[in-house]
Chains A and B, each alone.
Chain A
Amino acid sequence: MLSFTKIQQYLFIGLFLFQCSLLAAPFESCPSKAFLMQQQVAQLYGVNLVTGEYNLLSDDLGTTDKINAVGFNFHDNFIYGWGYEWGTLVQIGSDYQATPLTLTNNPGINFFVGDVALNENSYYFYKKGASYGLYKVSLDEQSSDYLDVINIIDGSSLSLTIYDLAFHPSNNLAYTVDKNGELYQINATTGESSALGNVGESGTFGAVYFDIDGNFYISRNSDGYVFIINLSDETPSAQFFAYGPSASQNDGARCAFAPVVDESMPATTDYGDAPDSYGTTLFSNGARHGLSDIYLGDTITAEHNANIYPNTDQDDGIVFITPLLAGSDSLIQVQATGAGYLNIWGDWNRDGEFSEDEKLLSDKYMSNTTEVFLVNTPLSALNGFTWTRARFTSIPAIVASGGVADGEVEDYRVIVNNPGNSQIQDTPHYLAFEDRWPEQGDYDMNDVVILQNSSLLLTESFEVKQIEFHGELKAMGAAYHNGFAIQLDNISPSNVDSNLVRFEINGVLQDTNVIEADTEFLVIKITEDLRDHVQLTAECDYYKSEQNCGNGSQMTFNVTVPFITPIALANFPEAPYNPFVFAQDGTYHGDLFFHPGRGLEIHLKNKMPTSKADLSLFGIADDATQISNGYYYQTSSGMPWALAISAGSEEEWKHPLEMVDIIHAYPDFQNFVESNGNTATLWFSQSNAISSKLY
């Protein structure tokens, strides 16, 4: 039987071993968050560099003094730093308790600049001054010089006014920025340094970090601003990156082999969704916010990185009650959840960027309210669709990009008009083509399917001053290479104000001229070949016309066409106008002809061809066009090769699956056709379809 004393001894030894095992526990992995040591009595914070969001990890590190010069050791997953209480190196594990380590040849003073190397298991620390300099101590327990301090270079030979340094993840050099903004590169093996130029920001950069891509982050003590520096630039400069925590005393550590976004964890960052030229993705230092209880509308979404238009998020905070009226007042409604400052930018010159002065609202304070605001759009704002960005956060005076710890960003595509102008939005049309013309096809009506939206801008005199098209390729069940264009019948191309034409594919401004040259009437040529815009997977021959071929790629287009002389509305063609597909030059398009090219056009029934159509193709095979009667693109029984389906604003038209005749997917189509449209006018509705036969 054990005596009480023996039990006490065993319990004490057990407790001691248990504590030792806890003290010895390293961090479990190489974390994506950065560590920030602050305060006169050390406190450790975790910082999300993406947003600047930070949280206290521990306010009790087992010391009564500062810990500085911290670095994360990739080799053993401990944090190392200089403990002022003990005047020596300390090791910090996952319990956030500092354990002092006894050094041989300890210089005998305290240090605030240090980091752990990546290519060797050694801690480097630095102090300016002839008696000090750059030191190294091995953290490798197997090494003969374990915890033995070696002076690399004296502090007069390496004389820098710096507050932290960090090792690059691939070139093994250390980098730092001094108080004047000079960027330095240090060879820690030799102690040699080289100045790489001024980064354009000055101050006490008490915490500096790297990510796995070699991006260098520097955090300024006075305001907490985090800047990012691309070291591969010829003249590296500090770009604002995020609003982080400020403190009089700062030191940072980070596992440089970790990306700044940990995609194995649930997303905690909200991004916008405007085209990336506006600064949307993390790569572009896009606008982003840490999730919090401050947001716009009723909900907020989180992503690991931004969805880029035409992929969009669910935004619900801002309602543009009126269009933005250039040089005049407009109405917007804003719903704010939580308290913060609202800023809204608008791309008034449509150059694809938000400049600092392109503001609609600045630091409007709101707290759990829904309000209607009067806003003024500058007179110089160009007519047509553009992008706006709303950011709501507890931090005032923020810019249009970069990270913020809380709040939300919402991007909106809006229209800018002149006061007195009217906007008529045409009903959306689904354009469904069979591309075997002049041979009759299988009528699955999915060889090309495009959703076409259009709107007119009218002057006070009811004249059309501008037309906009916004479309999306919904399906491409075609083996042929087809282009897509829209003719505005009887409208002269010479009346187009070509300097103000704007053409975007997937929100990206295009260099190509969207107005086709040398045509009698205006032809807006969206693409020579729709296949260029979608990526077909190995298993799928077609785009979104077969089951399990829900291709992730997307093709949308936006075209703005202003007219030099506005055109009377009565003389303007009506929606859906005259859209058509055409054969790409130099490609196979059936056995009836060899590479018919641009001259082979397929239009809606009774829509006229363009002046570039090859009229000799009419009357071949199943085509029964009678130009003299105005009968185009129909068979001898009056059936078409293309349909324009006006499904309305709320209903989506779904095209038939591959090889499914439209009449078998939509049985009411028969009555609609045979009654000349007098009955079954809702034949295209989902409620009248056989859903199993639809894509």
Chain B
Amino acid sequence: MKAYLYTIIYLTVLSLLIGCGAGEEDESNGAPSNSAPSNNGTTPTTVPVEEIITTGELVSDPNFNLSASIELTVTLPSLPSASTDYFINICTSFTNENNVIQVNYQSCKLRTTLTSQTQQFTLSLSTTETQLVAQVWPIENGAQPVNVFWNIRESGDNWQVTL
């Protein structure tokens, strides 16, 4: 690995030196400043040489655990009606086509019943999960849900679900 690194550094320094040495060339002629004469008369191309490092060369704060997430505090509403039970799913994967919401229930972060009191939960989200749907269902035949949405840009990391 070290030999590889030395080669890269050597090539980088060499290219800089060549570049410096060619500074007297007239740039208006379009020729690359670090070009060398070519035997066949074609114009050689410049190969940019970047310094490629490896993960082993990175330095990380010893306290940084190399993870990233979003902590979202969700406050659920109390039961809207004492005569019917309600269930709430908070999920990350859903589609909205012509106001028809299709939820992938495999993606639900929180599934619980509403109670007479508000409830508060903290959900840990991936940094890719920037929007959620809260789908509230009355537990009854032929039920229709109420959908409430969250996205991080508008609502931040605190979401009060209201019906």
* Interface residues as binary, B61-102 with A (CB distance below 8 Å gives 1, 0 otherwise): 111111111000000000000000101010011000000000
Which residues between 91 and 149 of chain B lie within 8 Å of chain A, taking CB atoms? Answer: 92-93, 104-113, 115, 119, 121, 123-129, 137, 139-145
- Given A372-B141, A631-B62: A661 in contact with B54 (beta carbons within 8 A): yes
How many A residues face the partner with a CB closer than 8 A? 63
B interface residue count range (under 10 / 10 to 19 / 20 to 34 / 35 or more)? 35 or more
Q: Which residues of B contact A554 (CB under 8 A)?
A: none
C-alpha spacing A325/B79, complex, angstroms: 18
> What is the minimal beta-carbon distance from A426 to any residue of chain B, in angstroms?
7
- The answer to whether A320 touches B67, judged by C-beta atoms less than 8 angstroms apart, is no
CB–CB A320/B105 < 8 A: yes
Q: Of A374, A426, A634, which is within 8 A of B62 by CB?
A: A634
Which residues on A sit within 8 Å (CB–CB) of B145? 321
Contacts known (A422-B111, A638-B59); A606 close to B65, Cβ less than 8 A: yes
Say yes or no: B110 contacts A424, CB within 8 Å.
yes
Q: Are A421 and B66 in contact (CB under 8 A)?
A: no
Contact A648 to B92, CB < 8 A, known contacts A422-B121, A677-B67: yes
**Contact: B59 with A419, CB < 8 Å?**
no
Chain B residues whose CB sits within 8 angstroms of the CB of A676 once the complex forms:
60-61, 64
A372–B54 CB distance below 8 A:
no
Known: A440-B56, A650-B93, A685-B128. A638 touches B64 (CB 8 A): yes
Closest CB in chain B relative to A264 CB, distance in Å: 37
User: From DSSP, what is the main secondary structure of chain B's interface residues?
Assistant: loop
Q: Give A648 to B130 CA distance when docked, in angstroms.
A: 10
The answer on a CB contact under 8 Å between B65 and A605 is yes
User: Which residues on B sit within 8 Å (CB–CB) of A691?
Assistant: none
Chain B residues, Cβ within 8 Å of A677: 64, 66-68
Residues of B within 8 A of A440 (CB): 56
The answer to whether A427 touches B54 (Cβ under 8 A) is: no
**Alpha-carbon separation in the docked complex, A415 to B119 (Å):** 22
Please state if A646 and B87 are interface contacts (CB–CB under 8 Å): no
Given the known A-B contacts A323-B111, A331-B139, A639-B60, are A647 and B128 also in contact in the complex, defined by CB atoms under 8 Å? yes
Number of A-B residue pairs, CB cutoff 8 Å, is 164
Bound state CA distance, A635 and B123, in angstroms?
A: 31
Contact partner of A321 (CB less than 8 A), chosen from B59, B121, B137, is B137
- The answer on a CB contact under 8 Å between A638 and B53 is no
In the complex, what's the smallest C-beta–C-beta distance from B58 to chain A, in angstroms?
5
Q: Is A330's CB within 8 Å of the partner chain B?
A: yes
- Choose from B123, B129, B141 the contact partner of A373 (Cβ within 8 Å): B141
Bitwise, A326-337 to B at CB < 8 A (1) or not (0) is: 000111000000
A574 to B122, CA, bound (A): 11
The residues of A that contact B141 with a CB separation of less than 8 Å are: 372-374
A661 and B128 form a contact (CB under 8 A): no
Give the residue name and chain of the B residue nearest to A666 (CB): B55
User: Does A651 interact with chain B (Cβ within 8 Å)?
Assistant: yes
Instruction: Say if the beta carbon of B47 comes within 8 Å of chain A.
Output: no
Measured between C-beta atoms, what is the minimum distance from B153 to chain A in Å?
A: 15
- Measured between beta carbons, the chain B residues less than 8 angstroms from A41 are none
Contact between chains at B92 and A646 (CB < 8 Å): no
CB of A304 within 8 Å of the partner chain:
no
For B59, the closest partner residue in chain A by CB is A637
Q: How far is the CA of A330 from the CA of B105 in the complex (A)?
A: 14
Partner of B66, one of A329, A374, A626, A640: A640
**Chain B residues, CB < 8 A from A664:** 52, 54
Smallest CB gap from B135: residue in A? A321
The reply on A420 being an interface residue by CB < 8 A is yes
Question: What 1/0 flags go to A302-325 for Cβ under 8 Å of B?
Answer: 000000000000000001111100
Check: A147 CB closer than 8 A to any chain B CB: no
Contact of B111 (CB < 8 Å), options: A322, A460, A663: A322
Does B137 contact A331, Cβ atoms closer than 8 Å?
yes
Interface contact B105-A321, CB-CB below 8 Å: yes
CB distance from B113 to the nearest CB of A (A): 6
Q: Which of A331, A575, A661 has the most CB of B within 10 A?
A: A331
A674 at the interface (CB under 8 A from B): yes
Q: Which residues of B contact A427 (CB under 8 A)?
A: 69, 109, 124-126, 129
8 Å CB interface, A367-416 against B = 371-374
Task: Give the residue among A371, A421, A424, A661 with the most B Cβ atoms within 10 A.
Answer: A424
11 A-B pairs (CB sep. < 8 Å):
A320-B105, A330-B139, A425-B109, A425-B110, A629-B62, A646-B127, A649-B92, A649-B107, A674-B60, A676-B60, A681-B68
Residues of chain A at the chain B interface (Cβ within 8 Å): 319-323, 329-331, 371-374, 417, 419-427, 440, 443, 458, 460, 574-575, 604-606, 626, 629, 631, 634-635, 637-640, 643-651, 661-664, 669-670, 672-674, 676-677, 681-682, 685
Besides A329-B85, A605-B66, 12 other CB < 8 A contacts? A374-B141, A374-B143, A420-B115, A424-B121, A426-B124, A440-B56, A575-B124, A639-B55, A646-B67, A647-B126, A649-B92, A676-B60
A-B interface, 4 closest residue pairs, ranked by CB to CB distance from nearest: A638-B60, A648-B126, A422-B112, A648-B128
